Amino acid sequence: MERHGSAPWRALCRHPASTAAAGTEAVHVKEPTERFTGRVDNYARYRPSYPAAAIDLLEASCGLSPAAVVADVGSGTGILTELLLARGARVLAVEPNRGMREAAEARLGGQARFGSVNGTAEATTLPAVSVDLLVVGQAFHWFDGERARREALRVLKPGACAALLWNERPEKLTPFMADYEALLRRHAPEYVRIVARRADVESMRRFFGGAMELETFPNEQTFGFEGLKGRLLSTSYAPEPGDAQFEPMMAGLREVYDRHERAGTVTFPYRTLVYFGPLRPG
C-alpha cells in the first residue's frame, strides 16, 4: 500500500460527442450512458473487483459502517456495491444504463440493504442531505465534473466524504502487459484518449473542492484465453464485432496470450487507486 498527501446508484454523464483519430479516420464516440450497452455480460464476469484493503480504508477514513447510507454513483453491474453491502452499509446504486442496472439488480436484489435507481452523477434523484459517503468505481472520468460536484454536495451530509476508485495498470509494465498495451494502441483508437481522462488529477481536485488524499493498493486477475478476451471486450474502447479492427485485434490478442501464458494463464496486474476526502463547499 502506498499513501500520498493532497497532491446508491451508476452514473455516466453526457459529454459532447467527439472524435478520436486513427490515422486520418475519425472515430465515432458513443454517449457515455450508451458505451457499455452490449458489454454487460463481459463486464459483470471479467472486470476486477477491489482489494479488501481499499474497503478497509473506506471504513477507517471515510465513514463506511453498518450505520452509513452510501451512494455508489456509477455502480454498473454492482462490483463495488457488493463489497460495500458486505460491510453492512445501506447502498444506493445509481446507474443510467438499463442493462448494467438490471445486472446489478439480478446479482444483489435479494439483499435488503441494496437499492437501485435510474439516475446519473448529475441528477441522482436521491434526497438532499441523505448520504454519509459517496463512492465512484471506475466511472468518474465520464461525469460532467462541475454538475456532478453540485449534485454530490446536495445529497451528502455536511462534512461527509467522497471516494473515487480505479483499477489501473501498474506504472512499470510486465512483458505481457507491455504487449497487451501495444495491442490496444494498434487496434483501439479511443484507448489513449480515455486513459488520459482517467489520469486527470486536476478534475478530481476540483470535484473535492481542494485537497484530497490518495492511497494505492496492489490487485490482480488471472485469466485463460477466454477470460482475457472477455476482459478486453468489457472495455468501452474495444472495437466490437463488425468493426474493421475487431478481427485483427482478436488475432493479435491470441498471439499475445500464446507468447506469455504459463500453465494456461496470464496475470493481469493492477494498482487500485483510491482518491478520498471530504467534499468542500465553495
Work out the mean pLDDT of the chain and round it to a whole number.
89
The C-alpha atoms of residue 204 and residue 187 are separated, in whole angstroms, by: 29
The H or E element containing residue 131 is: strand 131-137
Residue 158: inside a domain: yes
pLDDT digit string, tens, across residues 128-185: 999 999 999 999 999 999 999 999 999 999 999 999 999 999 989 999 999 999 999 9
Q: What is the CATH number of the domain that holds 116?
A: 3.40.50.150
Going by pLDDT thresholds of 50, 70 and 90, the confidence category of residue 18 is very low
Say if residue 144 is exposed, middle or buried (CB neighbours under 10 Å; 0-12, 13-18, 19+).
Answer: middle
Going by pLDDT thresholds of 50, 70 and 90, the confidence category of residue 52 is very high
Say whether pLDDT at 93 is over 80: yes
In the prediction, which pLDDT does 37 show? 58
Residue 25: inside a domain: yes
Going by pLDDT thresholds of 50, 70 and 90, the confidence category of residue 205 is very high
Residue 23: inside a domain: yes
Whole-structure pTM value: 0.86
Residue 74: inside a domain: yes
Instruction: For residue 50, give every residue at least 6 positions away whose Cβ sits within 8 Å of its Cβ, in sequence order, or none.
Output: 79, 80, 83, 137, 165, 167, 219, 272
Closest CA to 150 of 165, 128, 135, 132: 128
Q: How many domains does the chain have?
A: 1
In the chain, the amino acid numbered 131 is V
Report the pLDDT averaged over residues 184-203: 89
Rg from Cα positions in the chain: 18
Residue 183: inside a domain: no
The C-alpha atoms of residue 150 and residue 148 are separated, in whole angstroms, by: 5
Residue 250: inside a domain: no
In the prediction, which pLDDT does 39 show? 82
In the chain, the amino acid numbered 49 is S
pLDDT digit string, tens, across residues 32-50: 545 555 689 999 999 999 9
Residue 257: inside a domain: no
Say whether pLDDT at 23 is over 60: no
In angstroms, the Cα distances linking 65 to 84, 114, 237, 266 are 9, 14, 35, 36
Q: Where are the alpha helices (DSSP H) in the chain?
A: 40-46, 52-61, 79-86, 98-108, 145-155, 175-187, 191-198, 201-208, 225-233, 246-260
Locate 206 and state its grid cell: 476540483
Residue 237: inside a domain: no
pLDDT digit string, tens, across residues 100-112: 999 999 999 999 9
Note down the domain range covering 13.
Answer: 2-169+200-220+270-278
Q: What are phi and psi of 196, to 5 degrees?
A: -60, -35
Strand order in 266-278's β-sheet? 2-4, 213-223, 266-278, 156-168, 131-137, 69-73, 90-94, 114-117
Locate 49 and state its grid cell: 473487483
